[in-house]
């Protein structure tokens, strides 16, 4: 027989101990909470946002235009009128650096997005198929991986020629292999889980299992890898433009601006300093954000 004392309400002090103080949070809400508590990650996020905003609105608020030349004011040092100084044709370096940032960031974002899409599909299918299909597909990745990706990009640019579209193609064709390896490993770990077997028993197709179950459960590593790929794409584009294989005149990117300033490095070092510091700051900011996302999205670090 059940004792009556078991049905009596708890005293107030015991009721307080059972109170749920912390509200329930979704996975993304908890990840954002932990990301905000990481000062390095927040510094990187603020740095990236500032650089993107400068690239977007900087030329619009300047009193000078991208094409404006003043041969009477060539190679002026930074001052009140020309914040970053002028180049050898009297053009405002601030507007040119901000406009070059638009091109560099645009190339990096598009190339990263397309590379991630290719890598996710390729690696996901290889990991789920397994066996001989996986071996054949990953041997292709291994062959590409054995040679530095920068060398592939240089060879492709020599073959395709300079230009905005060609540099997008060159970066996209070689930067998907790292994403493919990571997604393959994640899919191989997840494909034997019960929810995947349940979907398979219900008759779900391979594409549905990949897109509805495996890839969504791998979004943490995918997002972290994509964030880390952006600074790599920025550096690749800048390097290719610096050696003359990337963006060509009249367009300019951070890399081509550094290349143009190299000849006047000693008398006018500021012409190289400003585009170079934006390249470094962008890469640093995205690396900080990537590290913070890796820590925030790891459920093993949840407290």
Within 8 A by CB and 6+ apart from 302, the residues are: 30, 34
**Mean pLDDT of all residues belonging to the chain:** 86
| pLDDT grade for 299, boundaries at 50, 70 and 90 | low
Sorted by where each starts, the structural domains of the chain and their CATH numbers stand as 38-56+86-294 (1.10.3720.10)
pLDDT value of residue 153: 85
> Which tokens go with 79?
């001052």
Q: How far apart are CA 80 and CA 292, in angstroms?
A: 38
Within 8 A by CB and 6+ apart from 271, the residues are: 75, 85, 87, 93, 257, 260, 261, 264, 265
Residue 194 has pLDDT above 90, yes or no: no
Residue 63 has pLDDT above 60, yes or no: yes
> Which tokens go with 25?
């949070």
Q: How far apart are CA 227 and CA 290, in angstroms?
A: 5
Length of the chain: 303
Model confidence over 242-283: pLDDT tens digits?
Answer: 888 888 777 888 998 998 888 888 888 999 999 999 999 999
pLDDT value of residue 39: 92
Q: How far is CA 10 from CA 7, 22, 39, 111, 232, in A?
A: 9, 21, 43, 61, 60
pLDDT value of residue 114: 92
Residue 53 has pLDDT above 60, yes or no: yes
pLDDT value of residue 45: 94
Angle between helices 270-297 and 27-36 (to 10 degrees): 130
Average pLDDT over residues 153-180: 86
Q: How far apart are CA 91 and CA 94, in angstroms?
A: 9
Q: How many CA within 13 A on the CB side of residue 11?
A: 2
> Which tokens go with 149?
């990706």
Q: How far apart are CA 132 and CA 148, in angstroms?
A: 26
Find residue 86's DSSP bridge partners: 92
Average pLDDT over residues 107-118: 91
């Amino acid at each position: 027989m059940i004792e009556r004392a078991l049905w009596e309400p708890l005293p107030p002090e015991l009721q307080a101990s059972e109170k749920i103080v912390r509200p329930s949070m979704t996975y993304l809400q908890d990840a954002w909470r932990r990301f905000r508590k990481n000062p390095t990650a927040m510094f990187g996020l603020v740095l990236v946002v500032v650089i993107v905003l400068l690239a977007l609105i900087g030329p619009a608020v300047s009193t000078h235009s991208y094409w404006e030349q003043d041969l009477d004011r060539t190679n002026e040092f930074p001052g009140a009128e020309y914040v970053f100084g002028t180049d050898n044709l009297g053009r405002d370096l601030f507007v040119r650096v901000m406009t070059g940032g638009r091109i560099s960031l645009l190339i990096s974002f598009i190339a990263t997005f397309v590379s991630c899409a290719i890598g996710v599909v390729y690696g996901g299918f290889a990991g789920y198929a397994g066996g001989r299909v996986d071996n054949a597909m990953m041997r292709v990745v291994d062959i590409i991986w054995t040679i530095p990706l920068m060398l592939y990009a240089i060879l492709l640019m020599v073959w395709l020629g300079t230009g905005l579209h060609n540099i997008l193609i060159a970066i996209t064709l070689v930067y998907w292999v790292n994403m493919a390896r990571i997604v393959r490993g994640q899919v191989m770990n997840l494909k034997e889980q019960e929810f995947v077997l349940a979907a398979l028993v219900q008759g779900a197709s391979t594409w549905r299992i990949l897109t509805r179950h495996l890839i969504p459960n791998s979004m943490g590593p995918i997002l972290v890898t994509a964030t880390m790929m952006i600074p790599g794409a920025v550096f690749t584009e800048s390097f290719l433009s610096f050696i003359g294989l990337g963006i060509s005149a009249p367009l300019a990117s951070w890399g081509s601006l550094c290349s143009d300033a190299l000849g006047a490095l000693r008398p006018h070092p500021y012409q190289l300093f400003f585009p170079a510091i934006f390249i470094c700051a962008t890469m640093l900011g995205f690396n900080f954000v990537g590290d913070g996302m890796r820590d925030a999205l790891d459920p093993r670090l949840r407290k």
